[in-house]
Amino acid sequence: MEVFSIVPRGYCKGVVRAIEIAKKASHLDDDVYILGMIVHNQYIVNALEDLGVHTIDIKGKTRLELLDEIDHGTIIITAHGASDEVFIKAKEKGLQIIDASCLDVIKTHDLIKEKIENGFEILYIGKSGHPEAEGVLSIQKNKIHLISSKKDIDQLDPHQHYVMTNQTTMSLYDVFDLCEYAKEKLQHVIIEKETCTATKIRQEAIRNMSNDIDIVFIVGDPHSNNTKKLASIARQNKEVYMIESIDDLNISVLKGKKKVAVSAGASTPTYLTNQVIDFLKQFDENCIETYHKPKIDKTKIL
């Protein structure tokens, strides 16, 4: 097959930083725990577990509630960031803290705190239940409004003074649409877009792929918001499949296809993406020998 490897793709600087921090922490004498998934990729979580770094992630529980599961040792704050309440509670419990928050997320927190101090209310475009949104909403609950759709904007006081910003991994096209709608509906709104550069250029690369691509694979974890946004953008005019790894690639969907494109979420290990690319390059639907998929070597994940 003819394979187009969309670039840039895969790891962003925040993910690289978080993984390196967790790997270094594995050498500590202390028990080491990660408060939630370090980044949204189960392969990385499992690989860190093999190094002795334990992920505490219970569906429905906030970072603050997850701290109740840890009574000793060192905790790592994930790349998604956390509220000041989490840091305070961890210190009160006598836990050592290692902060692996993405620097872009910290920048958004600082922006929001500054704007609240200056008398604004915050409109935060984000995904309910996402750990990054959770951390932001905890900054000052009565001053921050989660915006997931235009209906949320319709319910606001149009005379209030707002600053609108967003979760760093949101679709830049969805953010633009909601910001434009807010400017139409609200008398006093300042736009401070915070989509990180890595997210932005990956989404633009997907949007600008060649028109003659027959099928697209986005490699990434189903928990990853930025991975799902890449797939959503590609689906506007392509046949798209989100897969975690080569194991999830359904060979039957390749039949009759000539040109395939591959991209990956910002938390997807390069090794997993390259396995998919290499397999597709050698695939020939008329040659049964090319149907054999390679096994995943878990030691290469990190």
Please report how many Cα atoms fall inside a 13 Å half-sphere around the Cα of residue 196, on the Cβ side: 21
| Alpha-carbon span 104 to 168, nearest angstrom | 7
| Alpha-carbon span 194 to 175, nearest angstrom | 9
| Alpha-carbon span 183 to 176, nearest angstrom | 11
Distances (CA, A) of 9 to 60, 89, 219, 240, 274: 30, 37, 10, 16, 11
- CA 20, 247, 208, 200 torsion: positive or negative? negative
| Alpha-carbon span 220 to 248, nearest angstrom | 11
Catalytic residue among 2, 20, 132, 285: 132
Asked about 132 being catalytic, the answer comes back as: yes
Q: Which is nearest to 38 in space by CA: 297, 267, 287?
A: 267
| Alpha-carbon span 168 to 197, nearest angstrom | 9
| Alpha-carbon span 144 to 78, nearest angstrom | 22
> Residues with catalytic annotation?
132
